[in-house]
Structure 1
Amino acid sequence: MFRSHYDSDVTVWSPQGRLHQVEYAMEAVNLGTATVALKTEDFAVLVALCKPSSELGISLPKIISIDSHVGISIAGITADARLLSRYLRTECLSYKHSYSTIYPVQRLVTNLGNKLQITTQRYDRRPYGVGMLLAGYDEKGAHIYQVMPSANVLICKAMAIGARSQGSRTYLERNLSEFKTSSMHDIIVHGIQAVSRACPLDEELKIAVGIVGKDQPFKLLSSVECDAYLELAKTSERHETPPETPAETVEPSAVPSDIDPTSTGFSEEI
């Protein structure tokens, strides 16, 4: 009942102690198309669902290249993601110009979190309505970070965000132990199988894949490469599905003669 009175300004708390503007931004992430990030010791992979955004069938970019060692996948408002990606590119270029080396991934994500935090504290701003999964590789290895509109920054081994992403997170949790030692091809297949859990059954699975790692600059796979990995993922999933075994039937002769077949197993005393 108080929402209409307390949701016009991000600095105004509701009587329940909630910031509705921040909650709206988080809901925009939950309504966005699902995306998945996962990593091995040497590679970090981003896999995102692609859906046509207009009658012309044009898909907005779901994975954005930031630098040779960093890329992001998004869920939420694409315009906000474009602004943040421009900020990240500027930071990487400035750091490379000043120090002649790549921007450390952890420091880059920390600065991004600080930028998002400002929009949750000033009345003249609104929170960015986009969630991001950032994949990077530097001298410390492969990294996956989750960045949310509330300025929460989480270090992850694997993560999925967006609409219907609960099934993807369940798949990632069940297979987490395999990711660390997987090859580059296997981790891409795992990412496709995870994101397929978030795709509606009546829609064709269309994906975008980005990968970065050891001796591998950030790269967006072409449509031909994505189709090849899709076929590989479908084949692997068929092999992993165990055949259904018929239920065992009990022959009448196997029932002991001293048991009444009509008995319920409980004795009743009067």
Structure 2
Amino acid sequence: MMASRGYDMTPTMYSPDGRIYQVEYAIETVKRGTLAIGVLSKEGVIMAVEEKPRTLQSTDVTQKIFQVDYHIGVAAAGYIPDARVQVDSARFFSQGNRMTYDESVEVATVAKHLADQAHQFTQYGGVRPNGVSMIIAGVDQKGESIYVTDPSGTYVQFAAIAIGAGSDDVNAFLEKNYKDDLSLEDAAALAIAAIKLKAEQKEGVNDIKMAKISSESKIFEKVSEADLQKYSQTASKFVP
């Protein structure tokens, strides 16, 4: 750690071995966050997160899944206040695109915008990188798509992805079980099975929140607890 002193005080300075420590620290913050998962299906997209509410906390409001536009949602892992700021930026950007061009913005365009915003915080002194990664999922003119951004400003497209604590093992699980022809319900079941792989609470769905966007409606919808229970019953077929 002593070798990094000086180089880890600002995101504008490379260490002698070509590292930006502030960005690495932000990525470590993401790895300490609870799981967030995105799964692509032939019928739409699924976003799911693990949330661990306190005993007296209201669970009606999802803290880690956000709606950006009618057809785009975001699931976040890491420092959630940073996610809220980025989501607000994405909402302004999306509505500005609609007003300027009279059409809905593409998912890839929103992902690039958020990645550009994150990258700016790695270039100036007096700021810190955003300690959050986000899954941007939606259905646009080009079809269904899922992107992931990270604190460095990188954005990458995936068919299925997990971010947060234990994501390496969960991604290995998704690689093994994901198929291109999944229905939306099977994608939801796979997301639940993936979260339970690392969750402290293996039974029930009290710690899981989910949203979906179907290819037919192209509308962001939160998944009800009753539907979560139904999807959970079929998640067993993905359990190793």
- TM-score of the superposed pair, with normalisation by structure 1: 0.81
**Alpha-carbon distance in structure 2 between the residues aligned to 1:203 and 1:233:** 11
Cα displacement string for residues 169-213 of structure 1 (whole angstroms, at most 9, x for unaligned residues): 12211122x2x2122111111111112112136786521111113
Tell me what 1:41 maps to: 42
Greater Cα radius of gyration, structure 1 or 2: 1
Given candidates 152, 155, 160, the residue that maps to 2:154 is: 152
SS of the residue 1:6 aligns to:
coil
- Cα RMSD between the aligned structures? 2.0
Gaps of 5+ in 2: none
Aligned pairs for 1:137-216 (under 5 A) are 137-176=139-178, 178=179, 180-200=180-200, 205=205, 206-216=207-217
Residue pair 2:33, 2:79 contacting (<8 A) in 1 also: yes
Sequence identity, in percent?
29
Tell me what 2:13 maps to: 12
> What is the letter of the counterpart of residue 31 of structure 1?
R
The number of aligned residues is 235
> What is the letter of the counterpart of residue 74 of structure 1?
A
> What is the letter of the counterpart of residue 147 of structure 1?
T
Aligned pairs for 1:85-104 (under 5 A) are 85-104=87-106
**Alpha-carbon distance in structure 2 between the residues aligned to 1:170 and 1:12:** 34
> What is the letter of the counterpart of residue 134 of structure 2?
M
Residue pair 1:131, 1:161 contacting (<8 A) in 2 also: yes
**Alpha-carbon distance in structure 1 between the residues aligned to 2:116 and 2:229:** 38
Runs of 4+ displaced beyond 3 Å: 54-60, 201-205
SS of the residue 1:2 aligns to:
helix
> What is the letter of the counterpart of residue 137 of structure 2?
A
SS of the residue 2:63 aligns to:
coil
Residue pair 1:47, 1:192 contacting (<8 A) in 2 also: yes
Residue pair 2:35, 2:162 contacting (<8 A) in 1 also: yes
- TM-score of the superposed pair, with normalisation by structure 2: 0.90
**Alpha-carbon distance in structure 2 between the residues aligned to 1:204 and 1:213:** 25
Tell me what 1:259 maps to: none
Tell me what 1:136 maps to: 138
Aligned pairs for 1:34-113 (under 5 A) are 34-52=35-53, 54=54, 56-58=56-58, 61-113=63-115
**Alpha-carbon distance in structure 2 between the residues aligned to 1:6 and 1:204:** 46
